[in-house]
Copies of this chain bind each other. A is one copy, B any other.
């Protein structure tokens, strides 16, 4: 029926195969790029969300914002806290909540790791001409929003900063940057 050359490309015709290996390849590249900074891709995503938000978020809110389970978030925060990148403290208004804030070290780590992430993404997209790269990311973004149902509406929502306490008086005085380019998160 088909010769070897065609057989070799057979799976390349499958969207699922391509998407899976795009994911695996980028994840591997990203993990490697972030290794010098001691953070895993999903940890960087969490740091970014903490830094980008003016309000002080609980673990629960962070979890749903990043699209991970709250039980998984416990381990992630444990790890980040043990490395001194974030701090956990009980909310005064609702003692059930753990408010997570970035430390100075965490802010520096975030900034450096974000740069590495952006570079890794650029390297990954390098084989494509700029138009193709833009078309790819835009298509992925459209599909992401169109297929929210496949995620069970998981990520995003993020409740309206009700308990917004502002970046906390003097507790978290660090110049945490607002990440710019696209990259690997959760």
Interface residues of A (CB under 8 A from B): 1-4, 6-8, 10-30, 41, 45, 48-49, 52-54, 65-67, 117, 121, 124-125, 127-128, 132-133, 135-147, 150-151, 155-158, 160-161, 178-186
Copies in the complex: 2
Contacts of A143 in B (CB 8 A): 22, 25, 124-125, 127-128
Report which of B22, B127, B186 forms a contact with A17, defined as CB distance below 8 A: B186
Q: CB distance A132 to B121 under 8 Å? A: no
Closest to A160 in B: B4
Residues of chain B with a CB closer than 8 A to A25's CB: 143-144, 147, 150-151
Closest to A122 in B: B15
Q: Which residues of chain B are near A184, meaning CB under 8 Å?
A: 14-17, 19-20
